Structure 1
Amino acid sequence: MPKISTDTLWEQAASEVKGRESGSGEEEREAAGERNVLLLGSKTGGKTSILLRCLDRDEMTKPTLALEYTFGRRARGHNTPKDIAHLWELGGGTSLSDLTQIPITPLNVRSLSVILVLDLSRPNELWTTMERLLGAVQSRLEKACSPQRTAKHGAGAKQQASLQEAAERVLPKDYPDRELLSPFPVPLLIIGSKYDLFQELESEMRKVVSKTLRFVSHYYAASLVFTSIKSENLMSKTKSFFSHLAFGLDRGTSVSLDPTKPLVIRAGTDSFSQIGSPPTTDVDIGSLRARNPLDLWKKVYESAFPAESTSEHRELKDPATDPQYGEPQIDAMRAQKDQELEQYKRNAAKSWKALELET
């Protein structure tokens, strides 16, 4: 991929497409310091606000309608190429998970990271959101890494092997509980958002949520951080994790396992022995039928926080009527065409009615 020497979004997108068409774009993008980050999670969970704060952008936040793209740049040093992070944000909660096929392709799997934002103030929706979104990403990664997909995109045997290696990320031999984990195929960061509202929940409820997310993040060999856009200290820690995925910077050494405080856990610093057993008082764990440890924790968690039915599909707005995407000239032409269509329907109805009377 050619060296990017412009700040415009469209020229960067054009360069990205050219790199994909050449069939050798991934290695060149890695050499140029380019990474891809997919941000997804709870609907209205604060994904956009967190992203803007991590990029040091003072902008008004707008609801993410579907899948939005932006980018971040960071200078390595004086007169050196800048690192570029391609940032994709999926809106709509779990309802638009099919759109993960756009940012997850055979050519960028090796440079991809995932950030899952979960709204701590809505614990009844937390597990369902996490399960559906991570499942959708895993499914898409499997398709992107299949030999048929890589061959279709012009990847040779060497690149196919590299993609498969990325999908089956191997942990260090000294990684805690290494043989008991199911590592996520790509680097994963779980962010618990709205910690300020989370503190208003009862102590036992906070304990269940915190302990469960500790288990899930360790099970997937992921990092975990609780944050709030109202806290500069928490956002600073969150930004460190984000910068590590987007630009390869150090995550720092801060770790907090205290359930009474915001959790800050780097991948590999927790263990099942420290986490302990699932937090339950009303359910006999021995009576639960579970296929694996993750399924067991799910059953215990949902006994404390029964999953709520969501209507995200019905709540999605029509982009054509959303004011944040308004275009006066286009909207005026659309209104005119809508009127013409309605008139055509009325005339057609009269014609069919007349034809029926004649016959």
Structure 2
Amino acid sequence: MEKKANTYNIRRNNLAAQIVNKTLNQISEDTARTIIIVGSKSVGKSSLLHSFLEKSDRPRETLVLEYSFGRKSSQKQGIEKIICHVWEYGGRLEMLRNVLVSIPVTGRFFLCIMVDLSKIKTVWNTLETCIQIVSDSYINSLPELIIIGGKYDVYKNYDGDMKKNISTTLRSMAVLYNAHLLFYTNKEPQLVRKAKEVFYNIGFGNGIPFREKNTNYTKPLMIPRGSDNWDSIGVPSSTLEQIKMRHLSRIPSEGEMKQEVKGLQRSHPEPALDSLVALKYEELHNLETFDPSIDEYLMLL
């Protein structure tokens, strides 16, 4: 089963690459766009792309790499239809570097990094890992970056200090890497509409993602690149390491969360009950952070 599934995925991805490469010599900046979306698992990447491409089928889990495309007639006379190549990566972040170098890029290039706002302690690792891999993979020509905070419907219920800290970190990274920033959830039609508009603009429009701006952390962020600054964020000009230190000093890391679970105080008269409670907390924590490899996943099928 594992060998057949891997062979199928390889053939499908090779076929997609061949289709794209076949048109490379016939495409210019005006007639082609490339969008790559990476980031947290099960954060809503597929749902967002299905909405953008107006697909009617139900999104399925992206195991490694999926290719799709859309076509729209250009408004300029004498120019054929614009084709937008869309690549979605759903594998382990450690393997992203190997995948990016194999994706053909043509026309204007946008790379979207989507982080899961419902899992606060994973935000930094996802963001830092993706940005560093992207920076290393495209040294000569960095793509136009878009940072997307997914699952805003869960995040909006967090306390004000937590939302302020997360917003500060994401805005700082967006300023440092000249990226656009927006929050999204497929549970709220207004945010679906805004995200769909952003993707339409970069895929088929004038390439300017946002028509509005919001920096208020109590509401969904939507900040075009170049429109934010350190003074507005309320922090001094910072390097990547300084942003990281500031973030981790306010939000517990994975290791610190585990120590917190192990240090639960007794709340029951019987020690055995306290032990069972501690084990259940540990079990739930492990399930939340469980991230099997592709091979492990296929073996379970």
**Fold equivalence (TM over 0.5):** yes
The CA deviation at 1:130 is: 0.9
Change (3 A) 1:269 1:233: same
CA deviation string 1:174-195 (max 9, x = no partner): xxxxxxxxxxx22011111111
User: What residue in structure 2 maps to residue 74 of structure 1?
Assistant: 72
Segments ≥4 residues shifted beyond 4 Å: 9-15, 77-80, 317-323
Distance 2:224 2:197 in 1: 11
* 1:30 corresponds to 2:8: no
* 1:203 corresponds to 2:160: yes
CA deviation string 1:9-58 (max 9, x = no partner): 999754533356xxxx2xx3115611111100111111111111122222
Indicate if the aligned counterparts of 1:41 and 1:93 stay in contact, CA closer than 8 A. Answer: no
Task: Give the alignment partner of residue 221 of structure 2, picking from 247, 256, 263.
Answer: 263
Counterparts of 1:284-303 in structure 2, within 5 Å, are 293-303=239-249
User: What residue in structure 2 maps to residue 16 of structure 1?
Assistant: 20
RMSD of aligned alpha carbons: 2.8
Task: Give the alignment partner of residue 111 of structure 1, picking from 92, 108, 112.
Answer: 108
The CA deviation at 1:93 is: 4.5
The CA deviation at 1:300 is: 1.5
User: What residue in structure 1 maps to residue 130 of structure 2?
Assistant: 133
Q: TM-score, normalised by structure 1?
A: 0.64
* 1:90 corresponds to 2:92: no
Distance 2:173 2:71 in 1: 31
Change (3 A) 1:216 1:32: closer
Task: Give the alignment partner of residue 53 of structure 1, picking from 46, 51, 54.
Answer: 51
Indicate if the aligned counterparts of 1:109 and 1:141 stay in contact, CA closer than 8 A. Answer: no
Distance 1:95 1:266 in 2: 29
Change (3 A) 1:202 1:51: same
Task: Give the alignment partner of residue 220 of structure 1, picking from 174, 177, 190.
Answer: 177
Change (3 A) 1:61 1:210: same
The CA deviation at 1:238 is: 1.2
Change (3 A) 1:266 1:93: farther
Change (3 A) 1:81 1:10: farther
Identify unmatched segments of 5+ residues in structure 2: 1-12, 256-288
SS in 2 for 1:76: coil
Identify unmatched segments of 5+ residues in structure 1: 1-8, 143-163, 168-184, 279-291, 324-359
Q: Percent identity between the aligned chains?
A: 29
The CA deviation at 1:293 is: 2.4
Distance 1:15 1:119 in 2: 32
User: What residue in structure 1 maps to residue 150 of structure 2?
Assistant: 193
CA deviation string 1:85-141 (max 9, x = no partner): 1111000241431211221x5xx3663210111111111001111111111122121
| Structure 1, 251-260 or 45-54: larger mean CA deviation | 251-260
* 1:122 corresponds to 2:100: no
Equivalent AA in structure 2 for residue 119 of structure 1: D
Indicate if the aligned counterparts of 1:93 and 1:129 stay in contact, CA closer than 8 A. Answer: no
The CA deviation at 1:202 is: 1.5
Indicate if the aligned counterparts of 1:41 and 1:116 stay in contact, CA closer than 8 A. Answer: yes
SS in 2 for 1:192: strand
The CA deviation at 1:209 is: 0.4
Distance 2:16 2:158 in 1: 45
* 1:306 corresponds to 2:252: yes
| Structure 1, 132-141 or 238-247: larger mean CA deviation | 238-247
Equivalent AA in structure 1 for residue 31 of structure 2: G
Distance 1:10 1:99 in 2: 12
User: What residue in structure 2 maps to residue 44 of structure 1?
Assistant: 42
SS in 1 for 2:193: helix
Equivalent AA in structure 2 for residue 100 of structure 1: L
Q: TM-score, normalised by structure 2?
A: 0.75
User: What residue in structure 2 maps to residue 148 of structure 1?
Assistant: none
| Structure 1, 293-302 or 79-88: larger mean CA deviation | 79-88
Distance 1:316 1:306 in 2: 28
Indicate if the aligned counterparts of 1:207 and 1:259 stay in contact, CA closer than 8 A. Answer: yes
Indicate if the aligned counterparts of 2:31 and 2:107 stay in contact, CA closer than 8 A. Answer: no
Equivalent AA in structure 2 for residue 76 of structure 1: S
Aligned residues: 253
The CA deviation at 1:79 is: 9.0
User: What residue in structure 2 maps to residue 285 of structure 1?
Assistant: none
Change (3 A) 1:293 1:318: closer
Change (3 A) 1:15 1:193: closer
Indicate if the aligned counterparts of 2:27 and 2:106 stay in contact, CA closer than 8 A. Answer: no
User: What residue in structure 2 maps to residue 316 of structure 1?
Assistant: 294
Indicate if the aligned counterparts of 2:31 and 2:79 stay in contact, CA closer than 8 A. Answer: no
SS in 2 for 1:102: coil
